[in-house]
Amino acid sequence: MHKLLTAALLATTVIAGAAHAADAIKPAILFDMGGKFDKSFNEGVYNGGQVFSKETGIKIQEFEVQNEGQREQGLRNFAKKGNNPVLAIGFAQADGLTVVAKEFPKTNFGIIDMVVDLPNVHSFVFKEHEGSYLAGMLAALASPGMKVGFVGGMDIPLIRRFGCGYVQGVKAVDPKMEVFQNMTGSTPSAWNDPVRGGELAKSQIERGANVVYAAAGATGLGVLQAANDAGKFGIGVDSDQNYLHPGHMLTSMVKRVDVATQTLFTAAKDGKFTAGISDLGLKEGGVDVAFDQYNEKLIKPEWKAKVEAAKQDIISGKIQVHDYMSDNKCPVS
């Protein structure tokens, strides 16, 4: 019933959209299971889409998948209805996109967080390990003589990449500092369980963690809440989440999925869509740590200087941050 209703709603919005945007492009976004208001990964894409809509007046069709089976279905639906380009959010969409992109060779697709090597797909991937490295440095700088923690969402190599970069950053500041690492689960529901996220964060804080870095979608909300409740510090992810708990958010590892979204749609609008891969790191401005009015009182100038120096070293190649996904191993733990 619920599914039928959403499908019906989707169909009507797509038809309505087709009526008054006949000559312009008809972009569409397929959000993943965290939902477009996860205040993190999906919401970053949503915000990017909003900016694009505001600037160009072009409406974006959206769909949020509720279960795994809907991914391929949703993509096909968009393509069938003439949406172009279609942006798929999240690594888990890759399989469905591979199938659908072959079925609709004239439709342009984009995907964030995974590479789909097809002539009509542009893939955006990010060097999360570089941004996480800086987050790890800040965590360690803020916790002299203490411990720090990391809570991941679903246990996949992509999230291990966040964790591995973070640990490397911590160890760069203090090689002896202990880092607790927890994954929320091994199914997609791990992106959406803030209560369990909070419990994981509490377990780390009780073992002495002073800063907890959450890379877990909506689960992260519980992690940051727990850090705030305990008077400790959280590090947000993907979107700038510093505003969630001012004074208790050390920083956020921002991943500019909003920029990726705008880039794809703008290129499509100008008829300049190209297939290929954008691998966005610190150098490209694809990832960074957020400094804003919510955390400026927490960040000492000398920390900022150290992070800035490390950032330049990573960009110049002087510091090589190991990428977990290159060999599925992490040199430190």
Residues in 270-289 that interact with another protein by CB under 8 A: none
What is the closest distance, in whole angstroms, from the C-beta atom of residue 218 to another protein in the complex?
6
| Dist CA 244 CA 229 (whole Å) | 12
Tally of CB atoms within 10 A around 319: 17
Total interface residues for another protein by CB under 8 A: 33
Of the listed pieces 68-76, 178-186, 295-303, 319-327, which binds another protein according to CB under 8 A? Answer: 178-186
What is the closest distance, in whole angstroms, from the C-beta atom of residue 200 to another protein in the complex?
6
CA nearest neighbour of 281 among 123, 110, 134, 128: 128
What is the closest distance, in whole angstroms, from the C-beta atom of residue 181 to another protein in the complex?
5
* Binding characters for another protein, 207-246, by CB under 8 A (x = yes): x----------x--xx--x---x--------------x--
Q: Is 157 in the site for another protein (CB under 8 A)?
A: no
Q: Is 183 in the site for another protein (CB under 8 A)?
A: yes
Tell me phi and psi for residue 306, to 5 degrees: -65, -45
**Closer CB to another protein, residue 38 or residue 113?**
38
Residue 37 tokens, joined: 């208001």
Q: Is 193 in the site for another protein (CB under 8 A)?
A: yes
DSSP E strands, the chain: 28-31, 61-64, 86-89, 109-112, 121-126, 147-154, 179-185, 209-215, 233-238, 249-255, 276-280, 287-289
The DSSP 8-state label assigned to residue 319 in this structure reads: S
Of the listed pieces 83-91, 124-132, 189-197, 286-294, which binds another protein according to CB under 8 A? Answer: 189-197
Residue 103 tokens, joined: 């079925």
Q: Is 40 in the site for another protein (CB under 8 A)?
A: no
What is the closest distance, in whole angstroms, from the C-beta atom of residue 87 to another protein in the complex?
18
**Closer CB to another protein, residue 6 or residue 73?**
6
Residue 144 tokens, joined: 């002299």
CA nearest neighbour of 98 among 111, 83, 89, 85: 111
**Closer CB to another protein, residue 131 or residue 194?**
194
Q: Is 35 in the site for another protein (CB under 8 A)?
A: yes
Q: Is 198 in the site for another protein (CB under 8 A)?
A: yes
Q: Is 4 in the site for another protein (CB under 8 A)?
A: no
Q: Is 192 in the site for another protein (CB under 8 A)?
A: yes
SS3 8: helix
CA-CA distances (angstroms) from residue 203 to 143, 162, 197, 199, 302?
17, 20, 10, 6, 31
What is the closest distance, in whole angstroms, from the C-beta atom of residue 47 to another protein in the complex?
13
What is the closest distance, in whole angstroms, from the C-beta atom of residue 195 to another protein in the complex?
5
Strand partners for 88: 30, 111
CA-CA distances (angstroms) from residue 2 to 39, 139, 170, 192, 265?
24, 43, 46, 19, 31
Binding residues for another protein, rule: CB under 8 A, are 1-2, 5, 35-38, 64, 181-183, 185-186, 189, 192-196, 198-200, 202-203, 206-207, 218, 221-222, 225, 229, 244, 333
